[in-house]
Homo-oligomer: A and B are copies of this chain.
């Protein structure tokens, strides 16, 4: 026989091939594949060996279509490079995996428009969706919430929308930070603001104004969420007259710290500094950063479980709030 025309796309091996090879019906193959029913041990064995003789690999698309669900849960994050989201994803993946599912991650690059688009796309693939810290306008969220989409949102609360959510207790975190600073004698603190549209930023501001009731003087400076932005804003921070600065998160704090160090400003002797989130690097900074630990793995796990319930048609899922914990290290000190 003439050699097949090269590059002759090796036809996909299907369940029918396996059935033929094993001398069984496709139904039977499907059964052993799904570990269901009671297939005669002998037959099952033949099927199994036929499967790996042929290197059979079930088509996810076909299974998904036939089953009516993909076994995939989608996750949309604003920035994959942020370790904050890794831990969430990891924990979520673990939950999904233990249920025979998997996670499909996408990165919206902090762009609300892309976010909306990807959400739509993700929904075509996944059975349920986790939106991490979504920046998209309320209206978009509302549109999805309406259609009974299996959606779960983290780090954002949307008033008056039937939207399941899990949030972190940023409020308490900031209060703890403020209390700590106040006990050290600080009276005037500077808050470096996070991204404009981040709910987390709003929460922090809300808490901060609460702290003012306790006699703490709070000034703010627009900044952002990255090390670069922290580095850039550091000189201005110095001029605020505050004796302590509360950075939006650890990245910002690290940037501030780097700049301070270059400027010869000593932390905490000259000025105290705090972060938020407790990323790994926080404790390796010089000095190690006082920050607020957010149990992201717990968040991820809770999200996985909640989504499971939601997709199972579960009604009334309780909104959850994950507690945080103050981590005092040496970037904060008593006012001399």
Contact = CB atoms under 8 A, between A and B. Distances in A.
Q: Which has the most chain B C-beta neighbours within 10 Å: A9, A60, A103, A148?
A: A60
A7 B65 contact: no
Contact of A107 (B12, B61, B90, B313): B90
Contact of A315 (B7, B65, B102, B315): B7
A280 B64 CA distance: 40
Interface stretch (A42-50, A81-89, A163-171, A235-243): A81-89
Given A86-B80, A93-B107, A286-B286, A227 B281 contact: yes
A93 B106 CA distance: 9
Interface string A250-287: 00001100100100000000000000000011001110
A238 to B, nearest CB: 17
A285 B262 CA distance: 10
A120 B57 contact: yes
A212 interface: no
A199 interface: no
A70 interface: yes
Interface string A211-229: 0000000000000000100
A293 interface: no
A60 B313 contact: no
- Interface size, A (range): 35 or more
Contacts of A258: 284-286
B254 A284 contact: yes
A81 B70 contact: no
Interface stretch (A121-129, A151-159, A186-194): A121-129
A2 interface: no
A88 to B, nearest CB: 11
Nearest to A86: B81
A231 interface: yes
19 contacts: A10-B147, A58-B124, A60-B124, A61-B61, A61-B64, A61-B65, A65-B65, A80-B80, A80-B89, A80-B90, A81-B83, A81-B86, A81-B87, A81-B90, A90-B109, A93-B106, A105-B105, A227-B280, A231-B284
Interface of A: 7, 9-10, 12, 55, 57-62, 64-65, 68, 70, 80-81, 83, 86-87, 89-90, 93, 102-107, 109, 120-121, 123-125, 147-148, 227, 231, 254-255, 258, 261, 280-281, 284-286, 313, 315
Given A93-B106, A104-B105, A105-B105, 6 more contacts: A58-B124, A61-B61, A61-B65, A62-B65, A80-B90, A93-B107
